[in-house]
């Protein structure tokens, strides 16, 4: 656990997956109803390659797989304000995942060519997503607003400096003041081994 006021950490979990697969997290989301959910990318000739949904027991650190089927090649995991669980599928675009079965439902007609690596939900019901501008291990990312009605995307901004290689480790929406929320992306600059918070105000 991370204290949001001073960044101190405590209560580390020795996380283990019930399937025995290696941990390769591609999404993490929490709700009071469904608990802490993990999207884990796995390669398997027996059960299929893709992202599998797990529910994490915070007391034991054991993550139990939800349902036998893969969600597909998916990344990003966030709960919307109405309690729906969203992810981004490589071929289907925005999908809704059933936290109880890991079944998925496509939203709209499919993606517009950008694979969202991270998602964050806004209070108005729409979502924000981040996609890499060019294929590779780093470089700038495009920030999109995504409709939860039809999955369509609208480019908002480009994050990150040109010529720098960095990893984008997460996306979250927070409301620190009445005037509007702030979308925070954690950028890890690989060339300089520096981490910094890059806020983008969303109204």
Looking at the domain assignment, is residue 52 inside a domain?
yes
What average pLDDT score do residues 33-60 get? 84
**DSSP β-bridge partners for residue 102:** none
Lowest mean pLDDT among 46-55, 78-87, 117-126, 186-195: 186-195
Domain membership of residue 175 (yes or no) is no
Q: Which range marks the domain in which residue 137 is found?
A: 16-167
pTM here? 0.79
Specify the CATH number for the domain of residue 21. 2.120.10.30
Residues near 49 by Cβ (< 8 Å), separated by ≥ 6?
42, 43, 70, 73
The answer to whether position 201 is within a domain reads no
Residue 176 lies in a domain: no
On whether residue 130 sits in a domain, the answer given is: yes
Three-state SS at 176: coil
d(CA 111, CA 202): 23
CA nearest neighbour of 75 among 62, 56, 57, 93: 93
Cβ contacts of 29 within 8 Å, gap of 6 or more: 36, 37, 77, 78, 79, 85
| Average pLDDT of span 37-43 | 88
Q: Are strands 62-65 and 16-17 parallel, antiparallel or unpaired?
A: parallel
pLDDT tens, 116-133? 888 988 888 999 888 877
Asked if the model's pLDDT at residue 33 lies above 90, the reply is: yes
Asked, for residue 78, whether it belongs to a domain, the answer is yes
Q: What is the DSSP letter of 73?
A: S
Q: Which residues are within 8 A (CB) of 126 and not within 5 positions of it... i.e. 6 or more apart? A: 145, 146, 147, 148
> Does 85 score more than 70 pLDDT?
yes
d(CA 142, CA 194): 21
Is the pLDDT reported for residue 79 higher than 90? yes
| Tally of domains within the chain | 1
Determine, yes or no, domain membership for 49: yes
pLDDT digits (tens, 9 = 90+) for 141-186: 788 899 999 999 998 888 766 555 555 556 777 655 444 445 444 4
């Amino acid at each position: 656990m991370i204290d949001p006021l001073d960044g101190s950490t405590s209560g580390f979990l020795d996380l283990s997956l019930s399937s025995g697969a290696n941990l390769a997290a591609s999404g993490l989301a929490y709700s009071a109803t469904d608990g802490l959910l993990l999207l884990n990318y796995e390669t398997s000739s027996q059960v299929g390659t893709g992202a599998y949904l797990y529910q994490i027991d915070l007391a034991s650190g054991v993550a139990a797989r939800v349902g036998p089927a893969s969600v597909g090649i998916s990344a990003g995991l966030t709960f919307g304000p109405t309690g729906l669980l969203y992810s981004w599928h490589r071929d289907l675009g925005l999908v809704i995942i059933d936290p109880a079965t890991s079944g998925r439902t496509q939203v709209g007609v499919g993606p517009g060519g950008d694979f969202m690596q991270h998602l964050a939900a806004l209070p108005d019901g729409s979502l924000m997503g981040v996609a890499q501008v060019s294929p590779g291990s780093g470089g700038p990312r495009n920030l999109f607003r995504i409709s939860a009605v039809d999955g369509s995307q609208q480019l908002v901004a480009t994050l990150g400096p040109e010529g720098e290689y960095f990893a984008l480790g997460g996306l979250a929406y927070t409301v620190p003041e009445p005037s509007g929320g702030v979308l925070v992306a954690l950028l890890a600059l690989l060339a300089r081994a520096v981490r910094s918070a890059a806020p983008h105000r969303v109204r």
